[in-house]
């Protein structure tokens, strides 16, 4: 009986000891969330050993996440097996989209770009010069990248967007051993959510505090611009038409989309403001339907042309809209392709441009950067 009691005592002490070790391990590896205020596509948290980035699965909610990255300062640090370990700060980067360049400019890491898909689309003068001198490698098309070139380049990370469905790119990249990271900022339904991906990019360079500071300043300016139109009554808001027809089909931003958020925050009267759709998609209508509902629109924004003559050449029915007849047609191409590189990181500026276009008297001395009237 005495032996049995001693055995039970030893077992209870062993169980208690294991429990203490388990609790201690849990405490050591407990995750502390890092602030992500608007972005829906990723989250950040950290332990005392690493930062964890979770890229959420926007396309398939049944899967917990699409990708997980563990950012460490040393290869010797152990990380969970459900993600990719990346030693930060990274030194070299390849990019699939020029829209990622703006983030790199803000955190002063343009020099890390060693390869790019469709580099002929690059607007930044320093990167363009490096491409023409051969310092930045042409990696081909985003959807069929030059795998051999990527392997030769061997970047610390290859930044790509992810898409719905079976993606053959990923199979090739995985089989080739290319370390890719998803940047899905393009799926964000709000301008501040999209620009907040600067935190994701900056984390790869161990510059999160800098990104937090930059983002906070953009957020403050954006919110201040929204206040310019907060007291405008619904009946005084100009009716706005967006985009241009393409082969008879007119694609429009949904009310719950990135473009829809700009129109809402700028105080626009937008016919499709209550039409919602999945992230990353657009509403599509026939030309006849758009004309019927928007023929009396006061302002036409983001026309895919710099001139009214070109719009008529695309489809002469464009001339039937009130905004066209009154010369109130505007393009987002004032700064050329720079709109695609810096417009993403300057949502406050783009919002101010739209407000100026809709309500010129609110900003009498302001000159737009991205929006210009079609000739």
Residue with tokens 């990719």: 84
Q: What CATH homologous superfamily does 231-373 map to? A: Nitrogenase molybdenum iron protein domain (3.40.50.1980)
Cβ atoms of 43 and 54 within 8 Å: the answer is: yes
Domains of the chain, by residue range, sit at 29-87, 231-373
Give residue 10's pLDDT: 42
**Predicted structure pTM score:** 0.89
Separation of alpha carbons 216 and 223, rounded Å: 11
Q: Which residues of 120-143 are buried (b: 16+ CB within 10 A; e: fewer)?
A: eebbbeebeebbeeeebbebbebe
pLDDT in tens, 155-209: 999 999 987 655 677 888 888 899 999 999 999 999 999 999 999 999 999 999 9
The number of beta carbons lying within 10 Å of the beta carbon of residue 292 is: 10
Which residues, in sequence order, are CB contacts of 189 under 8 Å at separation 6+?
40, 256, 257, 258, 260, 261, 279
* 63 confidence band (pLDDT: 50, 70, 90): low
Task: Kindly report whether the peptide bond that precedes residue 33 is cis, defined as omega within 30 degrees of 0.
Answer: no
pLDDT in tens, 112-160: 999 999 999 999 999 999 999 999 999 999 988 999 999 999 999 999 9
Separation of alpha carbons 298 and 110, rounded Å: 41
Between the alpha carbon of residue 181 and those of residues 25, 103, 122, 131, 163, the distances in Å are 29, 15, 20, 22, 13
The number of beta carbons lying within 10 Å of the beta carbon of residue 349 is: 18
The number of beta carbons lying within 10 Å of the beta carbon of residue 344 is: 23
């Amino acid at each position: 009986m005495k032996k049995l009691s001693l055995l039970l005592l030893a077992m209870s002490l062993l169980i208690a000891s294991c429990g203490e070790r388990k609790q201690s391990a849990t405490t050591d590896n407990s995750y502390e969330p890092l602030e992500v205020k608007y972005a829906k596509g990723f989250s950040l948290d950290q332990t005392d050993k690493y930062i964890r980035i979770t890229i959420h699965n926007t396309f398939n909610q049944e899967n917990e996440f699409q990708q997980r990255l563990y950012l460490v300062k040393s290869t010797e640090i152990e990380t969970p097996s459900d993600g990719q370990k990346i030693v930060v700060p990274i030194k070299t980067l390849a990019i699939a989209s020029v829209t990622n360049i703006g983030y790199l400019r803000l955190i002063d890491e343009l020099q890390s770009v060693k390869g790019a898909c469709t580099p002929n689309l690059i607007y930044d003068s320093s990167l363009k010069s490096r491409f023409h001198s051969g310092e930045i490698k042409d990696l081909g098309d985003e959807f069929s990248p030059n795998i051999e070139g990527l392997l030769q380049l061997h970047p610390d990370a290859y930044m790509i967007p992810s898409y719905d469905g079976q993606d053959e790119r990923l199979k090739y990249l995985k089989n080739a051993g290319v370390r890719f990271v998803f940047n899905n900022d393009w799926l964000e339904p709000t301008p501040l959510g999209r620009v907040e991906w600067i935190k994701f990019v900056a984390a790869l360079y161990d510059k999160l505090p800098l990104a937090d500071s930059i983002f906070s300043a953009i957020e403050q300016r954006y919110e201040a611009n929204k206040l310019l139109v907060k007291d405008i009554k619904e009946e005084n808001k100009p009716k706005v038409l967006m985009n241009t027809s393409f082969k008879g089909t007119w694609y429009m931003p949904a009310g719950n989309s990135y473009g829809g958020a700009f129109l809402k925050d700028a105080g626009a009267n937008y016919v499709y403001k209550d039409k919602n759709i999945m992230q990353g998609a657009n509403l599509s209508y026939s030309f006849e339907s758009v004309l019927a509902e928007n023929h009396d629109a006061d302002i036409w924004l983001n026309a895919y042309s710099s001139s009214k003559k070109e719009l008529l050449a695309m489809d002469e029915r464009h001339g039937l809209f009130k905004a066209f007849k009154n010369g109130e047609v505007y393009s987002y191409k004032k700064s050329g392709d720079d709109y695609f590189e810096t417009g993403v990181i300057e949502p406050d500026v783009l919002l101010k441009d739209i407000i100026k276009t809709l309500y010129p008297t609110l900003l009498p001395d302001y000159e737009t950067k991205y929006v210009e009237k079609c000739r």
